[in-house]
A and B are shown apart, each in its own frame.
Chain A
Amino acid sequence: MINKNKLNNDDRPLSPHLQIYQPSFTMIMSIMHRVTGAVLYFGSLLLLIWYVSIVFGPDTYNFVGKLFSFFIIKFALFLFTWAFFHHLFGGIRHFIWDTGNGFSLTAVELLARLTVILSLLSTLVVWFI
């Protein structure tokens, strides 16, 4: 294991970071892919709680069901679902890039827009249809 800290002394220049750049739509979408990934990481515990509550029997299951039906928590679950579809379509975008296609500015913009639109639509379909 190389100690990275030995290289991180104050004399070394830092590469430009987030605060240097003017935020752009595609940049925010890139950040959102990581943010939704992290949200899903911790959100997986919500799915786990639900699964385990089924094993514990009707009483526990109904309690968790009631908890998940509270407006605030239900809204959080809605956002959780949106994070899933956002990450899903963002992932498809990455698959397209893996083939070497979709790197032109217009394509990148279009793919980013499609990610937002399709993820929202899918979330609404799963929740309300």
Chain B
Amino acid sequence: MKNRYSEGTRHFLFQRATAVINLLLGVFVFNFFVKGIGKSYIDVIEGLNNNFMWLIVTIFSLSMCYHMWIGFNHILDDYVDEVFMRFLLGKLNLVMVVIVALATSVSMFMISFLS
């Protein structure tokens, strides 16, 4: 998978691989999030440290971000005809998913190891 003509195939496969991870972990993460709203600070910290929830959130975020990156690039390919604009928005897309992935990972590591 080195030439750029296989890029589409790689994205196709990775979109599905990350989809399986998102499906399995996302249900737990969304359930944790929805039930966590309004819970006390101590309860949420404890919830994240129970059953490796912080790790589930981290893996889900990384997988989700890769899935989002492919998906949003696909949307840009479909609707943005102007080459430079598509290139620019593609880079913004990358910045966005890297921020979400990094910030979530760092947060989860801090919560699990420093609290």
What are 19 pairs between A and B in contact, CB < 8 Å? A4-B81, A38-B75, A41-B71, A41-B72, A44-B65, A45-B100, A48-B103, A51-B108, A54-B45, A54-B48, A54-B107, A55-B107, A57-B41, A65-B38, A69-B38, A84-B26, A88-B22, A91-B19, A94-B19
A98-B16 contact given A48-B104, A51-B107, A55-B107, CB 8 Å threshold: yes
Give the docked Cα–Cα distance between A94 and B75 (Å).
Answer: 17
Give the docked Cα–Cα distance between A12 and B37 (Å).
Answer: 53
The 6 closest A-B pairs by CB, nearest first: A58-B41, A51-B107, A55-B107, A68-B37, A61-B41, A41-B68
Q: Do A54 and B44 touch (CB < 8 A)?
A: yes
Interface string of A57-71 (1 = CB under 8 A from B): 110011001001100
Give the docked Cα–Cα distance between A114 and B28 (Å).
Answer: 21
Contacts of B64 in A (CB 8 A): 44
Name the distance in Å between A75's Cβ and chain B's nearest Cβ.
12
Contacts of B107 in A (CB 8 A): 51-52, 54-55
In this complex, the member of A3, A44, A50, A88 whose beta carbon has the largest number of chain B beta carbons within 10 angstroms is: A44
Give the docked Cα–Cα distance between A4 and B85 (Å).
Answer: 12
Give the contacting residue for B34; candidates A40, A77, A92, A95; CB below 8 A: A77
Interface string of B87-98 (1 = CB under 8 A from A): 000000000100
Q: Do A3 and B103 touch (CB < 8 A)?
A: no
Nearest A residue to B104 via CB reads A51
Name the distance in Å between B110's Cβ and chain A's nearest Cβ.
5
A34-B75 contact given A52-B103, A88-B26, CB 8 Å threshold: yes
Q: Do A5 and B30 touch (CB < 8 A)?
A: no
Q: Does B83 contact A (CB under 8 A)?
A: yes
Q: Do A40 and B23 touch (CB < 8 A)?
A: no
Q: Do B31 and A126 touch (CB < 8 A)?
A: yes
Nearest A residue to B34 via CB reads A126
Contacts of A8 in B (CB 8 A): 81
Q: Do A40 and B81 touch (CB < 8 A)?
A: no
